[in-house]
Chain A
Amino acid sequence: MRFRADIRNVHTFTKLTASLATLGHIAWVRLDNKDVRYTVIPDTGTQVWSVITIDTIFDNYTIQSAAPDNTINLEVPLAVLQRALKSAQNANAASIRLTKKDNIPLLSLTITTDTIRTSQPTATAPSQDQFAGNGTSSNTNHSHPDGPPNDFREESADFFGARQDHETVVTQDVPIRVLAAAAVEGLHEPRCREPDVHIVLPNLVQLKSISDRFTKLALATKSSGSGRSAGGFATQSAAAGPKLELSANMHGCLRLALHTDSMNISSLWTGLENPELDPEQVAEGEDGLANHPSTRMKALGDSTGQHGEEGWATVRVEGRDWGRVLSVGRLGGRVIACFCNQHALILYVFLPAGEEAVGGGESVLTYYISSFAA
């Protein structure tokens, strides 16, 4: 079983890992010939199933295993991976490979940083405290007696210090578990009925900032009612958190609302896009499209969103969980939300294609969010 790749876009990889890490501690990572899949299934809260094209993150991707399509299934601790990637923030080059040390399987990141230094001794690499939990970190300082630096040097023995250009190589190890095919066989994407409304969400960063304000508002007014207890974040479970009401209609309107005893507040976006369904994707083709719930919803409601409750599909999401889901907005990309009234919300996040996207494949992250009862 072998896997090795260069990380083409460290920032995208870091942001992706960070977004996933907010939702759960471990991810099921499935690598094969065609794509890379990250799946996070926490005990409570939103699930994410993502399919990332290889070119989005990796270059020079080689993989080999006994399974069909060279499939490898791994269990990866996300927080550890996130910390390991911090070393790569300003990297020249980074690569990742599957390896074993002392019989422990791990993903090993090799990060090369070209640092231009003044006469100060190199302080960054040795003092970097970004250690993976159980892993190791080794530093090798390269220096060049003559001439310009050469990017891909082998290990060198001497350290001269006080030179113009240094190249630093950092290795971060992330301990993982290899999953047998049988272990992942039972994992399936949640099934949901056909959604009532599908709509393109506005800028996620803006949506997140407003959602976070509402959540904060709910917490502030709630805690004041119980005598100003100082923030019970740690003690509140997901089920107890403040619920935001998210609704949309087939005429480009999205509404986020919060209802408490002392106030009702709602924000309304209009002029959003409702994507057309592709008849080929819908079961039963054209007929299916005619009977699709969203087609029926189109007949109701209007584009101002002001007149009555007709045509709106509503779900109730937990404020903080929703904020964590929205953190994926930092990756950019188009987000389509599919509402199953009172039941569930599915978000499809399409990542912008890489610089040299080959074959036109698009990376998709799919978030499955259950709705809370009123």
Chain B
Amino acid sequence: MASNVPMFSAVSSSARQLLLLLRCIGFTKKALVRISADGLRFSTEEGSTMESFVFLEKALFTSYNYNPPTPLSSQDDPLGPPTFEINLISLLETLNIFSLSDPNMAKRMIGGHDDFATHRLNRHAGTNAFSDRSMGLIGVCTFNYDGPGTPLSIHMSEAGVATTCDLTTYEADHAEEIPFGRNDLCLKTIMRASSLLDAITELSFMTPASVAIHASPTSSRVNPNLSFSATGALGSATVDFTTTTSSDMPILETFNCATRITANYRFSALKAAQRAMAAATKVSVRMDRQGVLSLQFLIEVDAAGSASGGGGGNGGQALLVAFVDFRYVPLVEGEGEGDMDREGGGTDMGFLSLFLIG
């Protein structure tokens, strides 16, 4: 195929920003990549009971060029957007490499111990990428893809070194998306992502196997609007949220619940979304009648390149946003352990109940 123009090429001014977003879904080895004219979609899934995806729209890139593959003859159907699988860990590590600033290392002649370099690498590998402003320079990197059979190639030049990474692309086995009835919701609420993170963190101290999410249209002490509860070997815990508050900035910014509903999910699956919870400002929590849970995280991405999370960005610069979605299939009766029964009493393992008023 003598085409001089690659099918896809894009330039990003910040490898760190991409790394941050992709890390949110980085709980498994492989990721599915779909290139379209509007952006790149990365998706991961685990056991077909949980899936996540992040859409990197073209506005996040400094330049974005997509030339759709043309069918061989005009009678053929237009080819779908190129979809392939890559090793996500390799991609994350490569972006990690590209987001470390080399010129600073070159200056560091004194005290350049192995320990320091390792420490820096380890520091970037953790979830706490935000406090790392001191690391300064962000890498400009170029993506290229030339069709099935060719690798996804990422290139970066810095301080006299040019680094190229060719990621092997594998054929994608098309798994079906988890069906979500977005028009048939039982629960829809938008809340602060940090509160959700706090809730999950609290529950994780109990090392539970599953977590129950309960929603109720009206709020009472026994039945708060939204509650997360879990039972584990170390005890049980419940985190309750309510809309009855006089505060101007309630934790549950919006809350719509048609009927009372409870559903259980594998706790480790929810825990896998922790990075997204930490990176995001807000999260939209939705549950449909089947109990399928959708968490959609809104992550603010600075146009200049670094992402900011936590309690809301300042005004001023126009901020881009990216969305990271998680979808969970509920546990069927008997699958999970330690289901919390709201109506009956608690278990006899002790009871820790936290009430959060927004």
Contacts and interface: CB of A to CB of B under 8 A. Distances in A.
B105 interface: yes
Interface string A16-38: 00100010000000000000000
B164 interface: yes
B111 to A, nearest CB: 8
B322 to A, nearest CB: 24
Interface stretch (B92-100, B180-188, B209-217, B231-239): B92-100
A271 B160 contact: yes
A268 interface: yes
Interface stretch (B2-10, B45-53, B114-122, B244-252): B114-122
B279 interface: no
Contacts of B79: none
A61 interface: no
B121 A216 contact: yes
B197 interface: no
A251 to B, nearest CB: 15
A309 B97 CA distance: 26
Interface stretch (A97-105, A124-132, A259-267): A259-267
A64 B168 CA distance: 64
Contacts of A225: 29
A205 interface: yes
B283 interface: no
Contact of B29 (A206, A209, A210, A224): A224
A323 interface: yes
A28 to B, nearest CB: 24
Chain A interface size band reads 35 or more
Interface in B160-210: 160-168
Contact of B112 (A205, A261, A263, A269): A205
Interface in B90-134: 90, 93-94, 96-97, 100, 102, 105-106, 108-114, 117-118, 121
B165 A327 contact: no
A263 B163 contact: no
A208 interface: yes
B159 A220 contact: no
A217 interface: yes
A212 interface: yes
A265 B109 contact: no
A208 B29 CA distance: 27
Chain B interface size band reads 20 to 34
A332 interface: yes
A330 B111 CA distance: 7
Contacts of A213: 96-97, 100, 121
B218 interface: no
Given A224-B29, A265-B164, A329-B112, A206 B121 contact: no
A136 interface: no
Interface string A242-271: 000000000000000000111111111111
A213 B94 CA distance: 9
A324 B87 CA distance: 29
A340 B273 CA distance: 50
A138 interface: no
Nearest to B156: A267
A221 interface: yes
A265 B168 contact: no
Contacts of B94: 217, 263, 265
Nearest to A326: B114
B93 A216 contact: yes
B116 to A, nearest CB: 10
Given A206-B105, A264-B165, A323-B114, A221 B160 contact: no
B62 to A, nearest CB: 22
A205 B108 contact: yes
B105 A264 contact: no
A205 B166 CA distance: 25
Nearest to B163: A267
A76 B102 CA distance: 36
A209 B117 contact: yes
- Interface centre among B90, B110, B160, by most A CB within 10 Å? B90
B162 A268 contact: yes
Given A205-B106, A205-B108, A221 B90 contact: yes
Interface of A: 18, 22, 202-203, 205-206, 208-210, 212-214, 216-217, 220-221, 224-225, 260-271, 323-324, 327, 329-330, 332
Interface of B: 29, 86-87, 89-90, 93-94, 96-97, 100, 102, 105-106, 108-114, 117-118, 121, 151, 159-168
24 contacts: A18-B113, A205-B106, A205-B112, A209-B100, A210-B161, A212-B117, A213-B121, A214-B97, A216-B121, A221-B89, A261-B168, A264-B165, A264-B166, A265-B164, A265-B166, A266-B164, A267-B161, A267-B163, A269-B160, A270-B160, A323-B114, A324-B114, A327-B113, A332-B109
Given A205-B108, A266-B164, A329-B112, 16 more contacts: A18-B113, A205-B106, A210-B163, A217-B94, A221-B93, A224-B89, A262-B86, A262-B167, A262-B168, A263-B167, A265-B164, A268-B161, A268-B162, A268-B163, A323-B114, A327-B114
3 closest A-B pairs by beta carbon, nearest first, are A262-B87, A265-B165, A267-B163
